[in-house]
Structure 1
Amino acid sequence: MLTLRTSPASPFGRKVRIAAALLGLEARVAIVLADTGDPADSLRQQNPLGKIPALIAEDGEAIFDSRVIVEYLDGLAGGGRLFPADLAARIPVLTLQALADGIADAAVLQVYERRMREPAERSAKWVDYQAGKVTRALAALESKPPEAGATHVGAIALACTLGYLDLRFAGEWRTGHPKLVAWLDAFAAAVPAFAATHYSA
């Protein structure tokens, strides 16, 4: 049995869970919640960075981060399912994953700024810097959305990122991004695991 250390709200953990479902590996992955803020949590021994998600393989080896975990799972399932084998097709998929993960990173940093710092210590300049990344990336994606029906790793990452923006930023991204809204609706309809991994605080 594989063990996934994550939290329900993590867009990166959700990406791994959806990937496992699409690959038919869901039954082989046990979900064990991790608390990144708890020094006593074994996560810090499993991943020295103390970040989620981390996958504990059957031989006890820890695999991280989400990009590496998803590629590992794809390999377990025979390869070429979530990552195109052809280089010309693979690079755009990996680039989309990087863009989606970058949006999620910037969004998480904004959430942590509010959560970890007292109001007087918060940096509006820092928050604006991270928010600018999200704004520019969403504009780029709206101008050229992913192909409808895609279930590769880039599409999974983007869906999870947009879901995180719904969760932590009240879905404000939806205003002004109708193509992305339609794309996410189509992804959710095609991938039942998206609804199955939904989390509401």
Structure 2
Amino acid sequence: MKLYYSNASPFARKVLVAAHELGLADRIELVTATVTPTAANPEVAAANPLSKVPTLITDDGQAIYDSRVIVDYLDTLGARTLAPTSGAARFAVLTELAAADGLLDAALLARYEQMLRPEPLRWADWTQGQLDKVRRTLDHFETLTLKAEGDVGIVEIAVACGLGYLDFRFASEDWRATRPKLAAFYAVFSQRPSWPITDPAR
């Protein structure tokens, strides 16, 4: 398999952590790809018309995207799964995953506004609105009990990727100050072998 990815993408990191947790990382060739909302990467666009990372090419040449679908595919290959495969439990997990992925989306949109939009055109209210989504979602996950040891699931992986991205790109967001459960979760999760080897700052 081949994965188009960017070190800085929290969605790509989610896939990489999932692959390591499932014992599949050594089956995936990593191809670094630079993509932005304003400039398509021709190689990625040939496989994914959205020209977004991560994009996975399977051993039989099929392109799979986005990160949620890639993880679902990897779930069919591993010795275990990161989410329930059916029933009410699956939809409960997918709903929490949507919240975690939404946090990543909002953080990325805030990042793009700050870094890619020409300064005279930047919209402070837009950035604030996206970061407010991030904070509300963090408050939501603070109410849950997330597992950081043993066989973790895709929700825990996605939440950890969100927290790691905030540390990476929004260091001024002191999310730990008022969310002790999340802080404790992240402190333990970040000791997992899959975490430092997928660190965008490495």
Same fold (TM over 0.5): yes
Matches within 5 A, 1:51-200: 51-78=52-79, 80-85=80-85, 87-149=87-149, 151-170=152-171, 172-189=174-191, 191-200=192-201
**Partner SS state of residue 42, structure 2:** coil
Q: Is the 8 A contact 1:97 1:153 kept in 2?
A: yes
Partner secondary structure for residue 76 of structure 2: helix
SS at match of 2:194: helix
Q: Tell me how far apart the structure 1 counterparts of residues 68 and 95 of structure 2 sit (CA, whole Å).
A: 12
Provide the secondary structure at the position in 2 that maps to 1:42. Answer: helix
Aligned-partner SS, 1:130: helix
CA contact (8 A) 1:95 1:154 kept: no
Q: Deviations along 1:2-50, whole A, 9 cap, x unmatched? A: 0010100111111111111111111100110111135453111111011
1:47 matched to which residue of 2?
A: 48
Unaligned runs of 5+ in 2: none
Paired residue for 2:10? 11
User: Between the two proteins, what is the percent identity of the paired residues?
Assistant: 44
Deviations 1:97-135 (CA, angstroms, capped at 9, x unpaired): 111110010000000011111221001111111111111
Question: Aligned equivalents of 1:41 and 1:164: distance in 2?
Answer: 26
TM-aligned CA deviation for residue 195 of structure 1: 1.5
Tell me, yes or no, if the aligned pair for 1:35 and 1:41 is still in contact at 8 Å: no
CA contact (8 A) 1:165 1:172 kept: no
Counterpart Cα distance in 2 of 1:75 and 1:21: 14
1:34 and 1:41 in contact (8 A); partners too: no
How far apart, in 2, do the equivalents of 1:107 and 1:121 lie?
19
Q: Secondary structure at the match of 2:56?
A: strand
After TM superposition, the runs of 4+ consecutive aligned structure 1 residues lying more than 6 A away are none
Distance 1:9 1:164 in 2: 8
Normalised TM-score (structure 1): 0.91
TM-score in terms of structure 2 length: 0.91
Instruction: Tell me which moved more, 84-93 or 127-136.
Output: 84-93
SS at match of 1:31: strand
Shift of 1:193: 0.5
* Cα RMSD after superposing both structures: 1.7
Unaligned segments of structure 1, at least 5 residues: none
C-alpha contact (below 8 Å) 1:96/1:158 kept by paired residues = no
* Alpha-carbon contact 1:83-1:93 (below 8 Å) kept: yes
1:118-173 Cα offsets, whole Å, 9 max, x none, are 22100111111111111111111112242453611111111111100110001522
**How far apart, in 1, do the equivalents of 2:23 and 2:5 lie?**
19
Tell me the number of residue pairs that the alignment of Structure 1 and Structure 2 aligns.
198
Q: When you count helix as a share of all residues, which structure comes out higher?
A: 1
| 1:86 to partner: Cα distance | 5.2
Whether 1:32 and 2:17 are equivalent positions in the alignment is no
Which letter maps to 1:184?
Y
